[in-house]
Amino acid sequence: MKPVLQPEIIKGRFSVTSYGPHFIEVNKVSYKSSCIISTETEPIPWEPSNAEEITQENVKILFKNRPDVVLIGTGKVQIFLKESIVLIKEENNENPTAFLDGQTSSNKAFADCMSTHAACRTFNLLAAEGRTVVAGLLI
C-alpha cells in the first residue's frame, strides 16, 4: 500500500502526489532515483544516492534560484548532515532566502534535513502556504 497524500490547494506548479520506499511521485509522474523537486520547475536528477555522498556543491544547487525554503530528504531515516555541508554563505551579502533572523539580515542560509517522506509532506505544506520550496530527495 502506498501512501497517497490528501489533495490540498497548492499554489506552486508542482507538488508531491504520492511517495513510497522506492519512488516519489510529482504531479502524478513517478521518479525512482534521487531528484531535486521544486514548486516552480520540473524535477531533475540529483547526483547523490545516499546521505554520505551529499556535498556542499550538491546543496548549493538547491539554493540556485533563491527559494524561500530548502529541504533535504536523507532517505528512510533522518540524518543530520554536517553544518559545513548545509550552511551556505552568500558572497555578495544578499540574503539567499526570504527568511531573516529578526534582528539583522544574514548572508547565511541552512538546508533543513529530514527523512525523505517527511520532506515530501513538508514540501506540500509549505507549497500550500505559497512558499517557493526546493527539495533534494534521496530515494
Mean pLDDT of the chain: 87
For residue 50, the tally of other CB atoms under 10 A from its CB is: 12
On whether residue 23 sits in a domain, the answer given is no
**C-beta of residue 130 within 8 angstroms of C-beta of residue 26:** no
On whether residue 15 sits in a domain, the answer given is no
User: Mean pLDDT over residues 25-46, rounded?
Assistant: 97
On whether residue 62 sits in a domain, the answer given is yes
28 has a pLDDT exceeding 60: yes
Instruction: Report the CATH number that the domain containing residue 112 is assigned in CATH.
Output: 3.40.1230.10
Confidence band of 108 (pLDDT split at 50, 70, 90): confident
On whether residue 117 sits in a domain, the answer given is yes
Domain that holds residue 42: 34-137
**What is the domain count for the chain?**
1
**C-beta of residue 17 within 8 angstroms of C-beta of residue 5:** yes
On whether residue 104 sits in a domain, the answer given is yes
User: Mean pLDDT over residues 68-92, rounded?
Assistant: 92
